[in-house]
Chain A
């Protein structure tokens, strides 16, 4: 069975500082990895994905994520956080093009002015 772990319930960072939101995964096949962001009372917005290719994936709003196969991680990063980045972030996984997404529990990111 596949699984996704987001070990932090909440990440606090000051505006302008770099941020990292952690995600590790477990899957038997090749992972398809995703990051989504959710603002209050809104649906999920796609940020970026890793399917194959370069381990560093660049996405929307200045976010990027690094796929690390040996550590089975896919941490989300941004060099300089904005207050408007404050939201709930979900890491998700599927093991093929056709399987169902498995979500992590989510990490609340709070960026202070």
Chain B
């Protein structure tokens, strides 16, 4: 089946620094990728939708200048948390939608971000 990877799986950074999370579709092309944030024992909150080669569409309440999303190729999207603060600590999950006709969403394993 379709595989989506995320890197890193967990990261600890100091407050004020920036951290980049990569999301890759390993065996399919994804014109659309999604970034979710999940708080402990809570549902997934969609942060933004990114389409290859164009600007991401952010959900209401998500700061686009803080959460920079780049979708430079059909297999890679990146989320950069800029000037991270402890409240940005969370589990970030990406998802890639196949452009091959079934439009299924495949999820990455998630990245645990801890800001100290």
Q: Which residues of A contact B (CB under 8 A)?
A: 36, 41-46, 88, 90, 97-98, 100-101, 103-106, 108
Q: Is the CB of A104 within 8 A of B107?
A: no
Instruction: State how many residues of chain B have any CB contact under 8 Å with chain A.
Output: 22
The distance in angstroms between the C-alpha atoms of A104 and B45, with both chains bound, is: 10
Q: Is the CB of B107 within 8 A of A43?
A: yes
Q: Is the CB of A88 within 8 A of B41?
A: yes
With contacts A42-B110, A44-B93, A100-B49 taken as known, whether A106 is within 8 angstroms of B43 at the C-beta atoms is: yes
Q: Is the CB of A98 within 8 A of B41?
A: no
Q: Is the CB of A90 within 8 A of B43?
A: yes
Q: Is the CB of B103 within 8 A of A43?
A: no
Q: Which of A43, A46, A98, A105 contacts B42 (CB 8 A)?
A: A105
The distance in angstroms between the C-alpha atoms of A32 and B32, with both chains bound, is: 18
Chain A residue at smallest Cβ distance from B46: A100
Residues of B with C-beta under 8 A to A42: 109-110
Q: Which of B34, B43, B102, B112 contacts A100 (CB 8 A)?
A: B34
Q: Which of B93, B103, B108 contacts A97 (CB 8 A)?
A: B103
Could you tell me which residues of chain B, from 19 to 59, have a CB within 8 Å of some CB in chain A? 34, 41-44, 46, 49
Most interface-central of A43, A100, A101 (chain B CB within 10 A): A43
Q: Is the CB of A41 within 8 A of B107?
A: no
